[in-house]
Structure 1
Amino acid sequence: MSEQTTYTVTIYTENNIGLLNRISAIFQRRHINVESINSSVSEIENVTKWIMVVKLSEEQMKKIIGQIEKQVEVIKAFYHTEEDTIYQESCIFKMKSDLLFEERQIQNIIKDSNARIVTVNKAFFVIEKSGRKEEIDLLYRELNTFGIMQYTRSGRIAVTKDEMKISTMLTALQH
């Protein structure tokens, strides 16, 4: 079996209902787990940008990109290795407020991890952290020993190190 690599998949699409189901089905049919997914506006007006993280062989990745691009609403799909992208994830933790005042270590953990406190009230406080997956995993492990009330993590957001000429491509397609 070919070597598994973590890829960041970037898909530029029209914003249509049902497209997520069809794209996820492409991965599902091949028994490939999508580790994270993020959908947002892109640098191009009326174009949605999806960022997906998957672990598979390059041969599988090329086939999947081909399948994704066959979807009518997909404008263009790309895949990049970890080394070719600059990426971040975000997370928020909800913790009991008394921990903030009674556990000195919590304040040190927040400071050392470059996290920030978003809100504090009598019942709870919320911490936000953006960074690499490993940084967020570490903060989770450190805070988990004190008890986390709620935790939410975003999918990866990413840009490529090399220029992506998608805007130029789209301009050419529109003429």
Structure 2
Amino acid sequence: MEKKEFTISIFTENLPGLLQRVVGNFTKRHINIKSLTTSQSSVPDIHRFTIVVNQDEDTVKKLVSAMERSVDVLKAFYYHPEEIVFQEIALFKIPAYKFNESNKVEKLIRRHHAHILTIDPEFIIIEKTGHEHETDALLEDLKEIGIYEFVRSGRVAVTKHMEPLNNYLESIQKLVIENH
């Protein structure tokens, strides 16, 4: 089967050790995680994992089904890239003197639609929000200048088709309200 990129959203209660159990489901199936982001969801006390994998769809379906059978997982969904809107954020720390030497860095920042977050006498911090290939392109250009530090987030994503997710979140929110 052909491997494709999928984004998996997993909703759980926010409990200690849950990250290890979620990742363990991928590990035991020998599925490499390309990106993993965790955060609270729009529902109080409900946590969201956003995980990106390159895998065939049958394997992803089985994984999502297995995740839902897990005691602490409330619901899991998987999406094709065209079903979601997604971004990542990257921060680059570059030498300040490179910015002051010429307008090359300024042109790079403008061309890549990045932003300066901090200007310090020793360094400049640049922020880039976008897709992975856009971050990679800026990274390659900045490597020619010199980079002190580089870090990127995992993917954050929201679905385009709201009905299944909205219904699920509304039902969870009602349960949370009833139990408090």
TM-score (norm 2): 0.92
Partner of 2:113: 114
Among all aligned residue pairs of Structure 1 and Structure 2, give the percentage whose two residues are the same amino acid: 34
Match of 2:122?
123
- The residue identity in structure 1 corresponding to 2:172 is L
Taking the aligned partners of 1:9 and 1:173, their CA distance within structure 2 comes to 23
Q: Which runs of 4+ in 1 moved over 6 A?
A: none
Structure 2 matches for 1:15-94, cutoff 5 A? 15-94=14-93
Is residue 2:146 matched to residue 1:147?
A: yes
> Is the 8 Å Cα contact of residues 43 and 173 (structure 2) preserved in structure 1?
no
The one-character-per-residue Cα deviations of 1:139-174 (angstroms, maximum 9, x if unpaired) are 111111111100000000000000022222324656
Using the alignment, how far apart are the partners of 1:103 and 1:146 within structure 2? 11
Q: Deviations over 1:101-154 (max 9, x none)?
A: 113211100011111111111111100010111111111111111111000000
Cα distance between partner residues in 2 of 1:50 and 1:171: 18
Which amino acid in 2 is paired with 1:26? N
d(CA) in 1 for partners of 2:28 and 2:55?
14
CA distance in 2, matches of 1:91, 1:44: 27
Q: Distance in 2 between matches of 1:93 and 1:171?
A: 38
What letter is aligned with 2:104? Answer: Q
Q: 155, 167, 170: which one pairs with 1:168?
A: 170
The one-letter code matched in structure 1 to 2:84 is T
- Give the AA of the match of 2:171: M
Secondary structure of the structure 2 residue equivalent to 1:167: helix
Cα-to-partner distance string for 1:70-91 (whole Å, 9 max, x where unaligned) = 2211110000010100000000
Q: Distance in 2 between matches of 1:173 and 1:68?
A: 20
> TM-score, normalization: structure 1?
0.95
Deviation at 1:61, TM superposition (A): 0.5
2:7 counterpart of 1:8? yes
Please tell me the root mean square deviation across aligned C-alpha atoms, in Å. Answer: 1.3
How has the CA–CA distance of structure 1 residues 172 and 119 changed in structure 2, closer, same or farther, with 3 Å as cutoff?
closer
